[in-house]
Amino acid sequence: MDKTRPVILIKKKGGHGGHHGGAWKVAYADFVTAMMALFIVLWLLNTNQKIQEAVAGYFRDPSGTANKVGSNMQGTGEFFVLTKDNMPKLKDELQNAIRQMKDFEKIKSQVEISVTPEGLRIELMESASGTFFDSGSPQLNADGRDLLITLAQELGKLPNKISIEGHTDSKPYPGTATYTNWELSADRANAARRLMQANGIRTDQVTQVRGFADQNLRKPDNPLDPANRRISLIVQYVIKDSGERQTKPSGSTEEKKPETEPAAAATPSDKQN
């Protein structure tokens, strides 16, 4: 007698392929990449224009030959060369940096930045009470130190050469004094150089330190005017000749201001050296 064979059913249990597969990793990687891109965009939106231009310049030319690409200039990540074409831009940036100083209101009328044939001229003019230097002394006061450090940190980012001039008014020292306006003007220019080189200016960036005494008055019609007592910083042009950068030497010491736009106008007043 034949018996019917039992039917054996084999059921396979459902696996958890979703957890052990690799598809989720691809999706997660895409998500992380998108979040990173979002964070970079948000960061760029909160940076200054210098950084934005530097990043854009890198992506335009990663090889580093574009005009605004990452460089070895300290503090910027931007290759900024001062020429006649972009000098107004540097002027605006310096004025903005000075405006951020805590005592800007006190010094704003004593700082003037102008475009001249020899470069960008920055004038630090004394007042009757002594704005940047102690009266009759080559010692910088607190306002003078703060301003020169601010300028050094900005100008140190440039490849351009800088010359520093010291000027006095025509009030002489006593006849028996061995220390004269010549020594005072040169000592003040050197004091500015030392402080700036300690705070951003490179040692090879300053090409000249000159003391003029009262031989190059800002206001010749009033030789005793306090504005004649000043420190002048000249950021010299860079001329591109056959693909090589050359710094234009400082020309005449005569002050010419065809495109003067002061950071703040000078206020004439009487004072001692």
pTM over 0.75: no
Residue 102: the pLDDT is: 83
For the chain, where are the E strands, in sequence order?
Answer: 111-116, 119-125, 162-167, 206-211, 230-236, 238-241, 244-247, 259-260
pLDDT of residue 20: 58
Contact 123, 260 (CB under 8 A): no
Q: What angle do CA 139, 140, 143 make, to 5 degrees?
A: 155
Apex 148 CA angle, 121 and 238, nearest 5? 40
For residue 86, how many other CB atoms are within 10 A of its CB? 12
Alpha carbon distance 163, 205 (integer Å): 9
- Token pair for residue 105? 């209101």
Residue ranges, the chain, pLDDT below 50 = 65-79, 242-246, 249-262, 264-271
pLDDT of 132 reads 93
Confirm if 236 and 248 have CB atoms less than 8 A apart.
yes
Check residue 92 and give its pLDDT: 87
Strands 206-211 and 162-167: parallel
- DSSP secondary structure letter of residue 232: E
Residues 6+ apart with CB under 8 A from 154: 93, 94, 97, 200
Fold of 80-260: 60s Ribosomal Protein L30; Chain: A; (3.30.1330)
Q: Three-class SS of residue 243?
A: coil
How many CA atoms does the CB half-sphere of 259 hold within 13 Å? 11
Of residues 236, 211, 205, 223, the one with CA closest to residue 268: 223
Cα(239)–Cα(241) distance, integer angstroms: 6
The predicted-structure confidence for 194-222, as pLDDT tens digits, reads as follows 999 999 999 899 999 999 999 999 999 99
